[in-house]
Structure 1
Amino acid sequence: MITNTELEYKGNLYPNQIINFKQDVDKFYFTTENGVVLQITVLRNSALRFRYATENVFEPDFSYAISEVASRGYSSLEVDETATEYLILTSKLKVLVDKKTLRIQISDLEGNIINEDEIGFHWEENYEYGGNTVKMSKITQNAESFFGMGDKATHSNLKGKRVNNWCMDQYAYAKDQDPLYKAVPFYTGLHKNMAYGIFFDNTFRTYFDFAHEKRHVTSFWADGGEMNYYFFYGPEMSKVIMGYTNLTGTPELPPMWAMGYHQSKWSYFPESNVKALARKFRKLKIPCDALYLDIDYMDGFRCFTWDKKKFPDPKRMMAELNEDGFKTVVMIDPGIKIDKDYWVYQEAMEKGYFCKRGDGPYMKGKVWPGECNFPDFTNPEVRKWWAELYKEFMSELGVHAVWNDMNEPAVMEVPTKTAPLDTRHNYDGYPCTHRKAHNVYGMQMVRATYEGIKKYVYPKRPFVITRAAYAGTQRYSSTWTGDNVATWEHLWLANVQVQRMCMSGMSFVGSDIGGFAEQPNGELFARWIQLGVFHPFCRVHSSGDHGDQEPWSFDSDVTDIVRKFIELRYQLLPYLYTMFWKYSKYGEPMVKPLVYFDQEDPQTHFRTDEFIFGEHILVCPVQEPNSQGRRMYMPRGNWYNYWDDSMVVGGKEQWVDADIDIIPLFVKEGAIIPKFPVQQYVGELVIKQLDLEVYYKSGIENSSFYEDDQDGYEYNKGNYSYRSFKLNGKENSLAIQQFKDGDFVPSYTSFRLNLHGLPFTIESVEVDNEVVPLNQVKPNGNNVIEVVKNFTQVLIKGK
Structure 2
Amino acid sequence: WTWGLLRHLVMMVLFPSLFLLAPLAVLGLPETVVRLPAGGRLALSTSGATAFRVRFLSDDDNAEPLNSPMVAPKAPDAPFSEVTIGKSSGIESAALGRLLVTADGELELQNVAGDLLTKSEPVGAGGAVVVLSSSTQAKLYGGGSDQAEALHLSKPSGGGHIVNRATYVPYYYSTDGYAALGVTDSLQHNVLQADYKLEDGKLSWTCPGTFELHLMPAASLKVGTAAYLALAGGVQMLPRYAFGFAASRWGWKDHTYIEETLTAFRDGKFPADSFIADFEWFGNGSDYKFKPEGRDDYQDFGYNNVTFPQPRQQLQDYHQRLNFRFSGIRKPRLGNSIVLQKAESSGWKAPPGGPETYAEERWLSFDSPDMRLWYGRQNAHYLDDGVDYWWNDEGENNYYTYHWWNVAQRDSLHGRGGPTKRFYSLNRAFTPGMARLGAAVWTGDIAASWDHLRRTPGTMLKWGLAGAPYVTCDIGGFFHEVTPELLSRWYQVGTFLPLMRVHSTKEVTPHWPWLYGEQAADAMRKALELRYQLLPYHYSLAHGMQAYGSLWMHPLIMDFPEDPEVAELSTQWMDGDILVAPVLRNDSIKQVYLPAGTWYEMRSGAAVQGGRWLDEAKADFDEVPAYVKAGAIVPMA
Please give the residue correspondences for 1:30-49 in structure 2 after superposition, counting only pairs within 5 Å.
Answer: 30-32=34-36, 35-43=39-47, 47-49=51-53
Write the distance in 1 (CA, Å) between the matches of 2:270 and 2:229.
35
Alignment of 1:103 with 2:98, yes or no, is no
Alpha-carbon spacing, 1:353–1:22, altered in 2? closer, same or farther (3 Å):
closer
1:533, distance to aligned residue in structure 2 (A): 1.2
| Correspondence 1:235-250 to 2 at 5 A | 235-250=219-234
| Deviations, residues 28-72 of structure 1 (Å, cap 9, x unaligned) | 211235541111113478621111012430544221122134352
User: Equivalent of 1:375, from 364, 376, 380?
Assistant: 364
Moved more, 280-289 or 266-275: 266-275
* 1:460-609 → structure 2 map (5 Å cutoff): 460-476=421-437, 477-609=439-571
2:134 maps to 140
In structure 1, the residue matched to 2:61 is: 57
**Partner residue of 1:619?**
580
1:190 aligns with 2:175: yes
RMSD: 2.8
- SS for the counterpart of 1:560 is helix
Identity %: 24
2:328 maps to which residue?
330
Q: CA 1:531/1:184 → structure 2, altered by over 3 Å: closer, same or farther?
A: same
Return the match for 1:275 from 259, 270, 274.
Answer: 259
For 1:347-746, list aligned pairs within 5 A: 347-349=342-344, 351-355=346-350, 367=358, 371-395=360-384, 397-409=385-397, 438-458=398-418, 460-476=421-437, 477-614=439-576, 616-630=577-591, 632-655=592-615, 657=617, 658-676=619-637
Tell me the distance in 1 between the aligned counterparts of 2:30 and 2:595: 41
Match of 2:13 in 1: none
8 Å contact kept, 2:98–2:109: yes
Equivalent-residue separation in structure 1 for 2:522 and 2:42 (angstroms): 62
Structure 1 residues 111 and 602 mapped into 2: Cα distance closer, same or farther (>3 Å)? farther
Q: State the secondary structure of the residue aligned to 1:645.
A: coil
Matching of residue 68 in structure 1 with residue 73 in structure 2:
yes
Is the CA contact 1:155–1:496 (under 8 Å) kept in the aligned structure 2?
A: yes
Question: How has the CA–CA distance of structure 1 residues 320 and 596 changed in structure 2, closer, same or farther, with 3 Å as cutoff?
Answer: same
In structure 2, C-alpha distance between the alignment counterparts of 1:120 and 1:156, rounded to whole Å: 36
Please give the secondary structure, in 2, of the residue aligned with 1:484: coil
TM-score, normalised via structure 1 length = 0.69
Partner of 2:10: none
Larger relative contact order (C-alpha < 8 A, sep ≥ 6)?
A: 2
1:260-288 deviation line (CA, Å, top 9, x unaligned): 10011112121111111101111111001
**Alignment of 1:313 onto 2:310:** yes
Distance 1:545 1:202, change over 3 A: farther
Q: Distance in 2 between matches of 1:554 and 1:104?
A: 60
Whether the 8 Å contact between 2:395 and 2:402 is mirrored in structure 1 is yes
Q: Deviations over 1:432-474 (max 9, x none)?
A: xxxxxx2112211122112213333557533212223221011
Asked if structure 2 preserves the Cα contact closer than 8 Å seen for 1:146 and 1:210, the reply is no
Match of 1:576, SS?
helix
Aligned partners of 1:267 and 1:225: how far apart in 2?
45
Q: Is the 8 A contact 1:71 1:247 kept in 2?
A: no
Q: Specify the SS of the correspondent of 1:41.
A: strand
CA offset at residue 568 of structure 1? Answer: 0.6
Distance in 1 (alpha carbons) for counterparts of 2:233 and 2:608? 38
Q: Secondary structure at the match of 1:583?
A: helix
> What SS does the aligned partner of 2:608 have?
strand
Query: Using a 3 Å threshold, how does the CA distance of structure 1 residues 591 and 655 change in structure 2: closer, same or farther?
Result: same
Out of 193, 209, 225, which is 1:206 matched to?
193
1:226 aligned to which of 210, 225, 228: 210
**Cα separation, partners in 2 of 1:356 and 1:557, compared to 1, 3 Å:** closer
Q: Distance in 2 between matches of 1:321 and 1:159?
A: 44
User: CA separation in 2, counterparts of 1:43 and 1:384?
Assistant: 29
Residue 29 of structure 1, aligned match among 26, 29, 33: 33
Length, aligned pairs only: 591
Q: Distance in 2 between matches of 1:350 and 1:46?
A: 44
| TM-aligned CA deviation for residue 86 of structure 1 | 2.7
How far apart in 1 are the matches of 2:53 and 2:630? 41
**1:607, CA displacement in angstroms?**
1.5
Q: How far off is 1:93 after superposition?
A: 2.5
Q: For the residues of structure 1 that align with 2:227 and 2:245, how far apart are their CA atoms?
A: 31
Gap change, CA 1:587 and 1:46, over 3 Å in 2: closer
* 1:82 and 2:76 aligned: no
| AA matched with 1:219 | S
The code of the aligned residue for 1:373 comes to R
Give secondary structure in 1 for the equivalent of 2:584.
coil
User: 1:739 matched to which residue of 2?
Assistant: none
Question: What SS class does the counterpart of residue 391 from structure 1 fall into?
Answer: helix
What secondary structure does 2:615 align onto? strand
Determine if contact 1:573/1:675 at 8 Å carries over to the other structure.
Answer: yes
Runs of 5+ consecutive residues of structure 1 not aligned to the other structure: 1-18, 125-133, 174-179, 410-437, 677-799
Q: Please state how far the C-alpha of 1:294 moved relative to its aligned partner.
A: 0.3
8 A Cα contact 1:159 1:210, kept in partner: no
Q: 2:4 matched to which residue of 1? A: none
Change (3 A) 1:160 1:366: closer
Tell me, which stretches of 5 or more residues in structure 2 are unaligned? 1-19, 287-298
Tell me if structure 2 keeps the 8 A contact 1:531–1:621.
Answer: yes
SS at match of 2:510: coil
Q: Which residue of 2 aligns with 1:265?
A: 249
Q: What SS class does the counterpart of residue 144 from structure 2 fall into?
A: coil
Which residue in the other structure is 1:717 paired with? none
Query: What SS class does the counterpart of residue 232 from structure 1 fall into?
Result: strand
Aligned partners of 2:379, 2:49: CA distance in 1, in Å?
43
Compare CA radii of gyration and give the structure with the larger one. Answer: 1
Query: CA-to-partner distance for each residue in 1:675-701, whole Å, 9 max, x for gaps?
Result: 22xxxxxxxxxxxxxxxxxxxxxxxxx
- Give secondary structure in 1 for the equivalent of 2:567: helix
CA 1:78–1:353 in structure 2 vs 1: closer, same or farther (change >3 Å)? closer
Seen in structure 2, the aligned counterparts of structure 1 residues 651 and 26 have a Cα distance that, compared at 3 Å, is farther
Q: What is the letter of the counterpart of residue 309 of structure 2?
A: P
| Counterpart code for 2:117 | I
Q: Within 1, Cα distance between the matches of 2:450 and 2:345?
A: 50
- 1:453 partner letter: L
In structure 1, distance between residues paired with 2:228 and 2:375: 30
Of 585-594 and 562-571, the range deviating more from structure 2? 585-594
Counterparts of 2:279 and 2:536 in 1: how far apart (Å)?
A: 33
In structure 2, give the amino acid aligned to 1:36: G
> Deviation digits for residues 369-418 of structure 1, max 9, x if unmatched?
x55523321111211221222221111x2111111111113xxxxxxxxx
1:348–1:586: structure 2 CA closer, same or farther, 3 Å change rule? same
Q: Secondary structure at the match of 2:329?
A: strand
Q: Is the 8 A contact 1:408 1:468 kept in 2?
A: yes
